[in-house]
Structure 1
């Protein structure tokens, strides 16, 4: 939501929303909850505990909100858990640190993974993972398949989502780390549930990678346009907008400084930046195998 469009109302403030949100969540009577952009823990956790849930929380460095996994205390025990920071995970074994990480922007986004063992049989359970992948207002143009976007000299951060080709990179790293988590704790037979705020629709390249589909020409074009380097990776880039953002909402303040929704403070990626090609990203996802998506299952 663009909060500036409804500045005359308090309807988006937490004091107005949190009671309704919790009522809506608990009305579904879930056994396992995956939540993102979680804050006000001093309010939320006691209410979840009063409803017989235990909670696991993690956030990125300096973030004011994070990810949470909640589970029914009567059904599950927390057997193992870990959190992952996409900004520091490597994708290559050789090269400079920047090339090994192969990121286009520092985002402070994380993933949270938990092994929940059944209280009725500790050898059975679920591996549950949640995440909040990077978002920027310019990505809206991609989601709407705006033809004008492709002739626009601006950039999108789709690459970073996929590794994190922004989303693509992060999504691939999440799968890799879930697989490593299952291997480390010998949880190969436990079903894995991944739920979160992925910030992409089924038409996005990251979704195609996740479910094992071949990229369409349009998706390949999106990936090519999204291979950019942000000033957070290369400080030598001259900033387009020297005014720092006022908060840490991913891209939330970008529209104020950039009404055309064009990525700023970035340059095109060069070979020496080490960003993964589409083929390399495909291998990253293939090493884990395609996921079954509720979008496809219906």
Structure 2
């Protein structure tokens, strides 16, 4: 497995291929899976992400409902929009595109999403269920990382995983998911001392820090598996790719690594949620 490139496009396609038949069966039962995306304001990156997610939905037969609110929208108005989607039986997943304008209480908005429709894993209830090991819809990027490890049959049990980053929708939930698979997990962050020495102990490295080329090649233990969940300006990850792949036995590129799988997991969770309505 020396210098294996973990191809996220390949993994994402396998997930999407598995959804086509499931979506077809749902439609035969009178249910069309529907993902509602809410975009507040005119951030060009967010607009691009929402468009990408909508296009991905349509390719596998999922209905994409796009709601675009002006940047002046108040928290209460956003909460009303979310509640309408909660009440709409034709909507199976709700995604509030991050970030929202600074005057909006983003956490309050996330918490308003019905747990049955929290396909992006942003509620505290969803996070708690993920940590306890029975969450149906973990945050999509952590779910993508686990899917890549599974697809390439990379062992997790008994391995030492080091996660760099502790955000509530990436670092913390991926640490919990790895722990649930019997890894020994060290979660590092901006206050961690001797970070490089910590990373050198890792069999599995998850970079989720949001700083371009932050993880250095000499931090990587020979044979470690490196998963780069960073996406910075100019299509640059959190890992110095060329330097880190020298020691890594397997590594995700940026772009084309974790990103495509993240979107495919969002689609999978939406289909999962639609299937729950038939139970």
Bigger Cα Rg: 1
Instruction: Give the alignment's TM-score, normalised by structure 2.
Output: 0.31
Higher helix share: 2
What's the TM-score once normalised by structure 1's chain length? 0.30
